[in-house]
Amino acid sequence: VLNANLGLAQKSNVKKLSDDERMEWWRDSKFGMFIHWGAYSIIGGERGTKIAGGGAEWAMDKLDYTVEEYEKFPEMFNPVMFDADAWVTMAKNAGMKYIVLTSKHHEGFGLWDSKVSDYDVIDKSPFKRDIVKELAEACKKQGIKFCLYYSIVDWHHPQAQGNLFPNYNISQHDDPSVVNPEFPKYYENYMKPQVGELLKNYGDIGVVWFDGDWISDYTTEMGKDLYKYIRDIQPNTIVNNRVDKGRMGMEGMNAEGNFAGDFGTPEQEIPDTGIDSDWEACMTMNGSWGYKPSDNNWKSSEDLIQKLVDIVSKGGNFLLNIGPDGFGRFPAESIRRLDAMGEWTKKNGEAIYGAKASPYDKPKWGRYTQKGNVIYAHVFDWPKDGLLKLNKNIKVKKATVLTDNSNTELSSIATSREVLVDVPMLAPDATVSVVKIELAK
């Protein structure tokens, strides 16, 4: 171990942080942007009259394309309207503090110039621009953390995809009795080198976000090896728990045991109670990660703002997805929602960034977040009688409406059974109004 550490110190001049120091920016950030973008963004989940169920990024699998047939999509990938700076600006304006781009999704097509593959945007596509590089540079310039998603599952690579065997469907495959003996070669000679390229050539990577951990060919030994490999290159980067085999279903948190990974990844759902470890809920605005124009099942802006608050009140981060189209545009429906969230976070960000889970029970009217001796009451349902009822063990020193620039103090009364704050009759915000409460010692 000592030798390994010495080797590490030589390789990298970066100061190795403690785990708490390393996680700090991420814990304080609370809100990030997921971007699912690839050759599937051209397809939009449609093949003739057939529409893929669920996520359109699964088009290759769900619309039954063979490996050869599917290759024409990377050959067409030419998103001439892609503007990394504009994307980053939209994320920042929404109040997001980091961006996670799908460098390679299950389809296997890479959005950077990979030396171990010609199935990437430089070698296979007319676009011939390194998307990872452009987005990394735009993030750096605009001061937001750049992060990468990478899929362990690869439906294109011959040693990883399962068409080698009859009745072997690698996309779903989690049957340990069916083994792909080629997979370790894919891991050693392709996947690991690709991850290495992403960590060596694009500056600081905030988070490496793995996915596809469920296939049985991928082992916990590979997961631990990969985690160490990543931290050897970038000691202070953060890696999600899908790097190893410890995740328990959609809840996304780790089972008991020794598994690599720095945070849990519940997907499309928010846990009921606060979890006493690091976690990040990832979610779509409609029902698809990849661009899917047939899916108009958009969550409202109000719902998304309340989801952000709910997640922060339980100690998590919110990674909210955008599926840009094949030209490189964010859908207008997504932009509207980003704008609405930005309007809210600009006014109420104090109650979100750096805030912690509330120790108090979830109130009927909304949620609490906390920073030191300040409690933020996020009110979803504003009281019709103008009296906000707080948990009875909250001792109010001073209460104000967070967005009230005149800082007018609200009066409050505490009885043995309840604490009431005299708030304005009209809700200050149409979505979530925040009452700031300084606690008495």
Binding-site size for ligand JFZ (CB under 6 A) equals 10
Residue type present at position 318: F
413 contributes a contact to ligand JFZ by CB under 6 A? no
Query: Three-class SS string for 286-306?
Result: CCCCCCCCCCCCCCCHHHHHH
Residues 287-306 that bind ligand JFZ (CB under 6 A): 289
CB of 267 to ligand JFZ, least distance (A): 5
For Cα atoms 405, 411, 417, give the angle at the middle one, nearest 5 degrees. Answer: 135
155 contributes a contact to ligand JFZ by CB under 6 A? no
255 contributes a contact to ligand JFZ by CB under 6 A? no
Q: d(Cα 338, Cα 399) in Å, to the nearest integer?
A: 30
324 or 363: whose CB is closer to ligand JFZ?
Answer: 324
- Per the CB < 8 A criterion, the answer to whether 127 and 70 are in contact is no
Residues 377-396 that bind ligand JFZ (CB under 6 A): none
CB of 14 to ligand JFZ, least distance (A): 29
For Cα atoms 25, 134, 10, give the angle at the middle one, nearest 5 degrees. Answer: 55
Among 61, 120, 130, 211, binds ligand JFZ (CB under 6 A): 211
Crossing angle (nearest 10°) for helices 220-233 and 2-11: 50
Residue 353 exposure: Cα atoms within 13 Å on the Cβ side: 14
39 contributes a contact to ligand JFZ by CB under 6 A? no
Among 7, 181, 203, 249, binds ligand JFZ (CB under 6 A): 249
252 contributes a contact to ligand JFZ by CB under 6 A? yes
154 contributes a contact to ligand JFZ by CB under 6 A? no
152 or 394: whose CB is closer to ligand JFZ?
Answer: 152
Residues 5-34: x/- map of binding to ligand JFZ (CB under 6 A)? Answer: ------------------------------
Among 107, 120, 262, 267, binds ligand JFZ (CB under 6 A): 267
Q: d(Cα 200, Cα 233) in Å, to the nearest integer?
A: 7
55 contributes a contact to ligand JFZ by CB under 6 A? yes
Among 99, 205, 281, 282, binds ligand JFZ (CB under 6 A): 282
278 contributes a contact to ligand JFZ by CB under 6 A? no
Residue 313: partners with Cβ closer than 8 Å, 6 or more residues away: 274, 357, 358, 362, 367, 368, 369, 378
Among 38, 39, 41, 57, binds ligand JFZ (CB under 6 A): 57
250 contributes a contact to ligand JFZ by CB under 6 A? yes
Residue 336: partners with Cβ closer than 8 Å, 6 or more residues away: 301
CA dihedral 130, 108, 324, 349 (to 10 degrees): -90
Q: d(Cα 394, Cα 322) in Å, to the nearest integer?
A: 39
Q: By CB under 6 A, name the binding residues for ligand JFZ.
A: 55, 57-58, 211, 249-250, 252, 267, 282, 289
